[in-house]
Structure 1
Amino acid sequence: MYSRAETAKIRKDFWTAFGLYMKPIPSAEGYRTNWQNYKTGVKNIFFRMKAERGFASIGIELNHKDEELQELVFGQFVEFRKLLEIELEESWDWELHQFDESGAIISRVQIVLQPVNVMDKNDWPKIISFLKPRIIALDAFWSNIKPAFEDF
């Protein structure tokens, strides 16, 4: 079992390694990007990557406090679903109005890799290989459709 400090250090080391691995890769628009803390530039729309004990995931998360607005934005993403799937070359799970870890209502589009464990450094290459092409594809998708979301 790991102490809280050891767990935090291992997680930090993973995301640092991921950031170093992704650092030379420019965004779809040719800019330098902080991939591990990707900024969409649109309020309440996030690209989330997680590496946990038991799974890794990547997705689009909507956390508008107004549930109707959240549903409207989610519907807008549904309109672009085919473009997203073409860019990703796979289908993801679509979840409207789910509860996150803190009990807030969110909506998300995501894919999960199981079983992997961020605490096991032997799993890091598998996690990075899972996250890397998907965050690059999300960035390419977002560079094309972001204007449709800037007014929300």
Structure 2
Amino acid sequence: MFSKQEAQQLKKDFWTAFGKSFPRKWILYDTKVKDMAFKFSVDNKKAEVSLDIEMKDEIFRNAYYEKIWSLEDILKDFIGEFHKEEHFSLENGKIISRIWVQKPGVSVFNKNTWQEIFEFFYDKMNGFEMFYYEYEDFIKDV
């Protein structure tokens, strides 16, 4: 087990190593749609790449989700199999819509899995971005 400080340092080292392994500017929060962002996340059991639609107005959130969901088969061509949840509950209780891919069996605390996570992050986020750039005008026209 790691102390809180050791865990924080490992996480910091992880993100620094990822940035050095795959140096590039990702879209992330720069989707040009307020409260819609691409995210990387990793913990002690899995890594995820997601598209989070976080609008407070449920009508707009659902409209964006439905737009993206209408492109389901095309999205699969870019990122492979994925999970989706229209009413995803975050740990803080906030309800968002989320589309994500997951890699189980890896850990931010196990340096032996870092390269596997980095490659997963790069491959899946790159696929999400290519999809978004290709269909951005359609998605944003809500």
Q: What is the TM-score of this pair, normalised by structure 2?
A: 0.90
1:9 equivalenced with 2:9 (yes/no): yes
Please say if residues 19 and 34 of structure 1, whose CA atoms lie closer than 8 Å, have aligned partners that are also in contact: no
Describe the SS at the equivalent of 2:87: strand
Displacement of 1:17: 1.0
Q: Identity of paired residues, percent? A: 27
Aligned equivalents of 2:101, 2:124: Cα separation in 1: 9
Tell me which residue corresponds to 2:30. 39
The residue type paired with residue 33 of structure 1 is K
Q: Which runs of 5+ in 1 are unaligned?
A: 24-31
Aligned equivalents of 1:137, 1:34: Cα separation in 2: 11
Describe the SS at the equivalent of 1:60: strand
Residues 32-111 of structure 1 mapped to structure 2, 5 A cutoff = 33-34=25-26, 39-88=30-79, 90-111=80-101
**Runs of 4+ residues over 6 Å off in structure 1:** none
Displacement of 1:151: 4.8
Q: What is the TM-score of this pair, normalised by structure 1?
A: 0.85
Please say if residues 38 and 47 of structure 1, whose CA atoms lie closer than 8 Å, have aligned partners that are also in contact: yes
The residue type paired with residue 63 of structure 1 is E
Deviations 1:105-129 (A, max 9, x none): 0111111111111111111011112
- Computed over aligned residues only, the root mean square deviation of the Cα atoms, in angstroms, reads 1.7
Displacement of 1:149: 3.4
Q: Which runs of 5+ in 2 are unaligned?
A: none
Please say if residues 56 and 116 of structure 1, whose CA atoms lie closer than 8 Å, have aligned partners that are also in contact: yes
Please say if residues 44 and 62 of structure 1, whose CA atoms lie closer than 8 Å, have aligned partners that are also in contact: yes
